[in-house]
Structures are given as structure tokens and as C-alpha cells.
């Protein structure tokens, strides 16, 4: 083909491409060739069209895939423009916000942000715009139900596909559970720190509370040694020693009780109890102390004596009332103390005994009326209201009341007085006769015969104390310091009436000694005595074969009550 033909062919091609009318006269000679070219070109064009269509399909598929991924991503996404308008939202975000795409699109994002977090969000968004870096913030978002949830938002800056304007993709994760856990952990940490502080204060107070009576005991015992001491002074010093000892014992009792409660080892001993008798006993017991302070004490029993029997743990109710009345006396300087109980009906038609202990004392400020029931809290040494005491009484009292199925609360006004209330279920039982161990000192023991007594005790001071306390009931006292010997003495003296058996004896403990004695003597009365009524001691003593159980330091009245119980009228 010559140059001219080539040129003409190119010209014809361009004319066809541009849709121009072809001047066929120009192409006569090459017409055939031209038609050929044309058909090749048409095939090329069709092929290109097919390619284009395929690419478009691929683009569409990839767009669909992206939208599917965006919509169903495990994270919520919002697309926001630079003015904060929501321009896109995925399905997960709709679920989190409990709204539809239509409801949220073209709304301001601030509409779904909790008012308290608007400033934090504003700062986050400004930084995202200005610094062009990814940003994270924790805020609260609002659902359509008006409920809020904790969200962690991560913002990424990007450009709009067509307009190239900046837009922001905000990833939203629900971190409510995490936040709640963080909150709980923080609270637990604060509580642990608070407890730590209070325990330190408690220990400091306890140390003071133990040292003070100890000081009294040791100091006045030393003074008693003075050779020229008048009889009057001697008696006075002895009284101080006694008082200090009693105070120390109270503290130790409280510590043991609270430890048992904390360890869940405090047990209930439910039996029929006469509530009226209990109230009257406490009244008689505290009357002299109240009157010595120049005050008046009175009591009120709502039930007639025959209906005043309930099933409860008598010792615990006694401890509860005693503690409340003791506090009333301690925190009142003038006026009166009144206590007793009433019957109240609950909404569920249950009858309750509602006890009260009312005083005209110093009162308790409103902000401390809950704290006083908490263990350790009242032990805070900065507490100016606390007078002598370990600060455990009310927490023990509250624990006892709750164990018995009741509740305790206080109504109080500073400088006017306080009334402590507590309830107990009123489960009346028919009146029966009770064996009352409580003897008043006036009750003489004339009708208890003289006894042959074995004292098994390795501690010299305790042994002396028991010997003195039983001296007026004994015709013969045998003493031993070991368990083995106690068994042997019993074997050789079948006429022994009573064994006072210490539990912590060397060689063979009191439980084992009792078990061995029981093999050959079922009748002798064995009373176990331990330094502290720790959990299970009573049960162990009874299981070993003891008749009864007494805790040290042995109280004369209590010991006499035991003797009367087992030997009266013999
Ligand atoms: P304690 O009396 O040994 O300190 P409690 O647990 O019995 O311990 O009482 C805790 C605190 O409650 C006391 O320190 C006192 O501040 C206050 N409180 C208890 N009873 C009364 C009362 N009747 N009047 C005023 N304050 C009281």
C-alpha cells in the first residue's frame, strides 16, 4: 500500500469514528479495504465495551461487599461531616443506638451525646479536625429509649469519594460492662483503703482500751503492797482493780464475739424464753447504776406474763438489751431511761415484738446514725462522741438481731436523746416452767449439801480462784494439774461429787480425761471450764460426756448456780 492509500484510510477511519459522512468518491480504489478495516474496528469496539461492562460489574460487586462489611461489622460506625452532621451509619450502630438509619442520618451527632459529655466530645472532634490524627474518647451515648450507655469512640479522618471534602469515620464500641467493672473495682479499692484506715484506727483504739484497764490493774496491785495502807484505801484499790478487770473482760468478750460473727461461727441456741422476765431482770440489774447517776429507769412489758414466751436465743436477746441499756446509761448524764417492748403488726399480718431503749442523753448526729452500727467505723479514734468502750457493741448487737430475724434502727436528736428500736419475730409458745439458772446473790445456798470436789486445773491462779469460790460448798477438795491424774483420782475416789475440768490440761486434755472417766463413772457431775467459749467448745464438752460448760473467768454467782442446779435438796 502506498502512502496515499494509508493516509486515505486513516482519514476514513477518523470520519467514521467522528460520525461524519464519508466521501466515497475519494476511496473508490480502497473501498474494499476500507470496509475490511471498519469491521475490524467494530469488533475492537465491541470487545472494549464488554471489558468496560465487566469492570463496572466488578466495581459494583466490590461496592456491595464494602457496604456489607461496613453494615455488619462488629463495631458500630458513623460517618460524620466536618460540621458534625451524620452522613452514614452502619447496622451495628443502629442496633447500639436502638434507631433506624433514617432516624439518624442528617441529624447532628450531638443529639445522641449525654449532656455531661458534650464538652469532651467537642474537644475530641476539634482535635480530630485540626491534628488529622486518629483520636479516641470515652463518652456516654443516648439510645432512642432515652437510656444511656458507655461508648468508646475512635475517630478516623478520611475524604469524601466524589467531593473530596473531609469526613470522619467514628467507630463506636459499647464499653458499659468494662466501665461497670472499673467502677466496681474502684469502689472495692476505696472500701479496702477505708477498711485499712479503720482497722488501723480500731487497733490503736483497742490497744488504748486494753492498756487503760491493764494500767489500773497493775498500778493498783502495786500500790496494795504498801505495808501501811489503811483498810479503807485497800478496799478502794481492790474495787478499782475489779472494775478494771471487768472492763478488760468486756473488751475481750467483744473481740471474741466479733471474730466469731465475722467468721460465721456464731451459733444460735433457740429455746422458749420468757421475755417479760428478761426485761425485768435487766431492769433490776441496772437500777442501782442508773440511780447512782441520779437518774430514773423504767420498763414496759406489753404482754401479760402467760403470753410472754417466745422461741428465741435467750442469751443473745439478753446481750442485745444489756448492750443498749448500758449505752443509754453511758451516754446519758441526766433524765431518764425507759425500755421495753410493744407488739406491732406488719403489712403481711405478722406479729413482731418491737423493743425500744429510750434515753435523754447526748444524742447522735444524723450523719453518724448509720455508721454507729458498722463494725470498725465507730472505732475511729477521732470520734469525739465515743466514751470508754471498744466501739464494737452496736455492731455485735446488730449482728445478733439480724441472726434472730429482726432489724435495728435509731431515732436520735443531739442533746435531746436517742431511742434504739429493734424487732424480733413474735412466735408465741405456751407457757411452760423454766429452769432459771440466774440466782440473785441474796438467794442462799443452804440446801446444797457439802461436796467432795476434784479441781483439774494447771493454772495456779485459776485453781486458787475456783478453790475459794467452792470452799463454802465443799467438805473435801482434791487438786490436780494433769488430765491423766484427774482420771486416776476419779478411779480411786468413786465418791467424788463434782469435777471441775479444765480443757487445756497438759498430757491429756480435759475432753479425753472426761471420756476416760465416763468409762467407769457415769454419775459424777463433770463441768468443763475453758478460757474462752470458742466455737464448738460446748458441743465438744457435751460430746465428751461433760454435764455442763462454764467459761473463765469463773463468776461466783454462775458457779453457785451450777452447784444449785445439780446438788440442791440433796
Ligand atoms: P462503744 O459504746 O463501746 O463506743 P457501741 O458500738 O456500743 O460502742 O456504740 C458506738 C457509738 O455509738 C458510740 O461510740 C457512741 O458514739 C454512739 N452511741 C451508742 N449508743 C448511744 C446512745 N444511747 N446515745 C448516744 N450515742 C450513742
> Domain extents for the chain?
3-65, 72-174, 191-262, 271-433, 445-567
Query: Mean pLDDT highest for which of 269-283, 427-441, 488-502?
Result: 488-502
Distance of CA 408 from the midpoint of ligand 1 (Å): 14
How far apart are alpha carbons 494 and 520 in whole angstroms?
9
Query: Mean pLDDT highest for which of 58-72, 327-341, 463-477, 550-564?
Result: 327-341
> For residue 44, how far is the Cα from the chain centroid?
85
Phi, psi dihedral angles at 349 (to 5 degrees): 60, 30
Name, in order, each residue with C-beta under 8 angstroms of 120's C-beta and a sequence gap of 6 or more: 137, 138, 139
- Architecture of the domain whose range is 445-567: 3-Layer(aba) Sandwich (3.40)
- The kind and range of the H/E element at 274 are strand 271-274
What SS3 class is residue 47?
Answer: helix
Q: Looking at the predicted structure, is the pLDDT value of residue 113 above 60?
A: yes
For a pocket test of ligand 1, which of 261, 325, 336, 378 has the largest count of ligand atoms closer than 8 A to its C-beta?
378
Q: At how many degrees (to 10) do helices 3-17 and 31-72 cross?
A: 40
Atom nearest to 359 CA in ligand 1: 23
Residue 16, all three cell numbers: 467514521
For a pocket test of ligand 1, which of 372, 383, 385, 392 has the largest count of ligand atoms closer than 8 A to its C-beta?
372
For a pocket test of ligand 1, which of 253, 327, 412 has the largest count of ligand atoms closer than 8 A to its C-beta?
327
Rounded mean pLDDT, 314-318: 90
Distance of CA 373 from the midpoint of ligand 1 (Å): 9
Task: Output the pLDDT for position 380.
Answer: 45
Distance of CA 367 from the midpoint of ligand 1 (Å): 14
Q: How confident is the model at residue 377 (pLDDT cuts 50, 70, 90)?
A: low
CB 361 within 8 A of CB 332: yes
CATH annotation of 271-433? 3.30.565.10
CB 531 within 8 A of CB 552: yes
Task: Output the pLDDT for position 548.
Answer: 85
Distance of CA 369 from the midpoint of ligand 1 (Å): 10
C-alpha distance from residue 286 to each of 330, 350, 410, 522, 560 (Å): 12, 32, 21, 41, 21
Name, in order, each residue with C-beta under 8 angstroms of 310's C-beta and a sequence gap of 6 or more: 272, 273, 275, 353, 424, 425, 426, 427, 428, 429
Closest CA to 549 of 567, 569, 568, 531: 531
CB 407 within 8 A of CB 422: yes
CB 349 within 8 A of CB 306: no
How far apart are alpha carbons 367 and 68 in whole angstroms?
59
E runs forming strands in 395-524: 408-413, 417-425, 451-456, 474-480, 498-502
Whole-structure pTM value: 0.51
Q: How confident is the model at residue 23 (pLDDT cuts 50, 70, 90)?
A: low
- 546 vs 132, more confident: 546
How far apart are alpha carbons 20 and 26 in whole angstroms?
14
Closest CA to 290 of 247, 243, 236, 339: 339
For a pocket test of ligand 1, which of 380, 383, 394, 417 has the largest count of ligand atoms closer than 8 A to its C-beta?
394
Rounded mean pLDDT, 509-538: 85
CA–CA–CA angle 315, 319, 321 (5° rounding): 120
Q: How confident is the model at residue 431 (pLDDT cuts 50, 70, 90)?
A: very low
CA–CA–CA angle 323, 325, 331 (5° rounding): 100
Distance of CA 391 from the midpoint of ligand 1 (Å): 7
For a pocket test of ligand 1, which of 321, 325, 363, 364 has the largest count of ligand atoms closer than 8 A to its C-beta?
364
How far apart are alpha carbons 431 and 61 in whole angstroms?
91
Rounded mean pLDDT, 238-254: 87
* Protein fold of 191-262: Helix Hairpins (1.10.287)
Name, in order, each residue with C-beta under 8 angstroms of 259's C-beta and a sequence gap of 6 or more: none
Q: Which residue ranges have their beta carbon within 6 Å of ligand 1? A: 327-328, 331, 359, 361-364, 372, 378, 385-386, 389-394, 418
> For residue 173, how far is the Cα from the chain centroid?
33
Distance of CA 378 from the midpoint of ligand 1 (Å): 8
Q: Looking at the predicted structure, is the pLDDT value of residue 200 above 60?
A: yes
What SS3 class is residue 428?
Answer: strand
Q: Looking at the predicted structure, is the pLDDT value of residue 437 above 50?
A: no
Nearest CA to ligand 1 atom 21: 327
How far apart are alpha carbons 175 and 138 in whole angstroms?
9
CB 360 within 8 A of CB 410: no
Distance of CA 310 from the midpoint of ligand 1 (Å): 28
Nearest CA to ligand 1 atom 4: 391
- Indicate the pairing of strand 548-551 with strand 525-530: parallel
Rounded mean pLDDT, 178-185: 92
How far apart are alpha carbons 109 and 119 in whole angstroms?
13
C-alpha distance from residue 421 to each of 277, 287, 325, 380 (Å): 19, 21, 12, 24
CB 336 within 8 A of CB 295: yes
CB 441 within 8 A of CB 429: no
Query: Mean pLDDT highest for which of 12-16, 303-307, 517-521?
Result: 517-521
Q: What region, left, alpha or beta, does residue 335 occupy, with left being phi > 0 and alpha being psi -120 to 50 degrees?
A: left
What SS3 class is residue 263?
Answer: coil
CB 149 within 8 A of CB 140: yes
How far apart are alpha carbons 394 and 324 in whole angstroms?
8
Weakest-pLDDT range from 242-256, 339-353, 368-382, 392-406: 368-382
CB 131 within 8 A of CB 84: no
Nearest CA to ligand 1 atom 20: 327
Distance of CA 389 from the midpoint of ligand 1 (Å): 8
Atom nearest to 391 CA in ligand 1: 8
Task: Output the pLDDT for position 267.
Answer: 82
C-alpha distance from residue 287 to each of 283, 325, 328 (Å): 6, 11, 13
Phi, psi dihedral angles at 179 (to 5 degrees): -65, -40
Distance of CA 385 from the midpoint of ligand 1 (Å): 8
Task: Output the pLDDT for position 384.
Answer: 46
Q: What region, left, alpha or beta, does residue 154 occupy, with left being phi > 0 and alpha being psi -120 to 50 degrees?
A: beta
CB 110 within 8 A of CB 121: yes
Nearest CA to ligand 1 atom 19: 327
Distance of CA 395 from the midpoint of ligand 1 (Å): 10
Nearest CA to ligand 1 atom 13: 386
Distance of CA 469 from the midpoint of ligand 1 (Å): 35
How far apart are alpha carbons 200 and 277 in whole angstroms?
41
Closest CA to 503 of 536, 529, 466, 464: 529
Nearest CA to ligand 1 atom 23: 328
Rounded mean pLDDT, 318-331: 94
Distance of CA 231 from the midpoint of ligand 1 (Å): 37
Cis peptide before 162 (omega within 30 of 0): no
Atom nearest to 385 CA in ligand 1: 16
Distance of CA 366 from the midpoint of ligand 1 (Å): 14
Task: Output the pLDDT for position 28.
Answer: 60
Superfamily of domain 72-174: PAS domain (3.30.450.20)
Weakest-pLDDT range from 4-8, 108-112, 166-170, 354-358: 4-8
Rounded mean pLDDT, 517-525: 93
Nearest CA to ligand 1 atom 8: 391
Q: How confident is the model at residue 97 (pLDDT cuts 50, 70, 90)?
A: very high
For a pocket test of ligand 1, which of 359, 368, 386, 421 has the largest count of ligand atoms closer than 8 A to its C-beta?
386
Rounded mean pLDDT, 415-422: 96
Distance of CA 276 from the midpoint of ligand 1 (Å): 26
Amino acid at each position: 500500500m502506498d502512502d496515499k492509500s494509508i493516509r486515505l484510510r486513516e482519514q476514513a477511519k477518523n470520519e467514521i469514528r467522528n460520525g461524519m459522512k464519508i466521501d466515497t468518491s475519494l476511496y473508490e480504489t480502497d473501498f474494499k479495504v476500507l470496509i475490511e478495516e471498519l469491521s475490524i474496528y467494530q469488533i475492537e469496539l465491541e470487545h472494549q465495551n464488554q471489558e468496560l461492562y465487566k469492570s463496572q460489574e466488578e466495581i459494583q460487586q466490590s461496592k456491595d461487599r464494602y457496604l456489607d462489611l461496613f453494615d455488619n461489622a462488629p463495631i458500630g460506625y458513623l460517618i460524620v461531616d466536618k460540621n458534625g452532621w451524620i452522613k452514614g451509619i452502619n447496622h451495628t450502630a443502629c442496633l447500639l443506638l436502638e434507631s433506624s438509619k433514617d432516624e439518624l442520618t442528617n441529624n447532628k451527632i450531638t443529639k445522641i451525646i449525654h449532656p455531661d459529655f458534650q464538652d469532651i466530645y467537642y474537644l475530641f472532634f476539634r482535635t480530630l479536625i485540626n491534628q488529622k490524627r486518629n483520636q479516641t474518647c470515652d463518652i456516654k451515648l443516648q439510645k432512642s429509649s432515652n437510656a444511656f450507655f458507655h461508648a468508646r469512640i475512635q475517630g478516623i479522618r478520611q475524604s469524601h469519594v466524589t467531593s473530596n471534602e473531609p469526613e470522619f469515620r467514628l467507630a463506636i464500641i459499647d464499653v458499659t460492662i468494662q466501665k461497670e467493672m472499673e467502677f466496681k473495682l474502684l469502689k472495692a479499692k476505696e472500701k479496702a483503703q477505708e477498711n485499712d484506715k479503720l482497722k488501723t484506727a480500731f487497733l490503736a483504739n483497742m490497744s488504748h482500751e486494753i492498756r487503760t484497764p491493764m494500767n489500773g490493774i497493775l498500778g493498783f496491785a502495786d500500790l496494795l503492797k504498801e505495808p501501811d495502807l489503811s483498810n479503807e484505801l485497800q478496799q478502794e484499790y481492790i474495787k478499782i482493780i475489779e472494775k478494771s478487770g471487768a472492763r478488760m473482760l468486756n473488751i475481750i468478750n467483744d473481740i471474741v464475739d466479733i471474730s466469731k460473727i465475722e467468721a460465721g461461727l456464731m451459733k444460735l441456741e433457740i429455746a422458749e424464753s420468757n421475755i417479760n422476765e428478761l426485761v425485768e431482770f435487766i431492769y433490776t440489774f441496772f437500777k442501782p447504776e442508773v440511780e447512782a447517776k441520779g437518774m430514773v429507769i423504767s420498763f414496759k412489758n406489753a404482754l401479760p406474763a402467760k403470753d410472754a414466751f417466745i422461741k428465741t436465743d435467750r442469751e443473745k436477746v439478753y446481750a442485745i438489751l444489756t448492750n443498749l441499756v448500758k449505752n443509754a446509761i453511758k451516754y446519758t448524764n441526766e433524765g431518764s431511761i425507759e425500755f421495753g417492748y410493744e407488739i406491732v403488726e406488719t403489712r403481711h399480718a405478722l406479729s413482731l415484738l418491737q423493743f425500744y431503749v429510750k434515753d435523754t442523753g447526748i444524742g447522735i448526729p444524723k450523719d453518724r446514725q448509720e455508721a454507729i452500727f458498722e463494725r470498725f467505723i465507730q472505732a475511729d479514734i477521732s470520734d469525739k462522741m465515743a466514751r470508754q468502750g471498744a466501739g464494737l457493741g452496736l455492731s455485735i448487737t446488730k449482728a445478733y438481731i439480724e441472726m434472730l430475724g429482726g432489724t435495728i434502727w435509731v431515732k436520735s436528736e443531739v442533746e435531746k436523746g436517742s431511742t434504739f428500736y429493734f424487732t424480733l419475730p413474735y412466735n408465741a409458745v405456751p407457757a411452760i416452767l423454766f429452769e432459771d439458772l440466774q440466782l440473785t446473790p441474796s438467794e442462799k445456798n443452804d440446801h446444797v449439801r457439802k461436796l467432795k470436789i476434784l479441781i483439774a486445773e494447771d493454772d495456779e491462779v485459776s485453781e486458787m480462784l475456783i478453790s475459794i469460790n467452792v470452799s463454802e460448798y465443799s467438805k473435801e477438795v482434791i487438786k490436780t494439774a494433769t488430765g491423766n491424774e484427774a482420771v486416776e483420782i476419779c478411779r480411786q475416789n468413786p465418791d467424788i461429787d463434782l469435777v471441775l475440768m479444765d480443757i487445756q490440761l497438759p498430757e491429756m486434755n480435759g475432753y479425753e480425761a472426761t471420756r476416760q472417766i465416763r468409762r467407769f463413772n457415769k454419775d459424777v457431775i463433770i463441768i468443763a471450764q475453758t478460757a474462752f467459749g470458742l466455737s464448738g467448745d460446748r458441743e465438744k464438752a457435751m460430746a465428751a460426756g461433760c454435764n455442763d460448760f462454764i467459761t473463765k473467768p469463773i463468776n461466783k454467782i454462775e458457779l453457785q448456780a451450777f452447784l444449785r442446779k445439780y446438788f440442791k435438796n440433796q
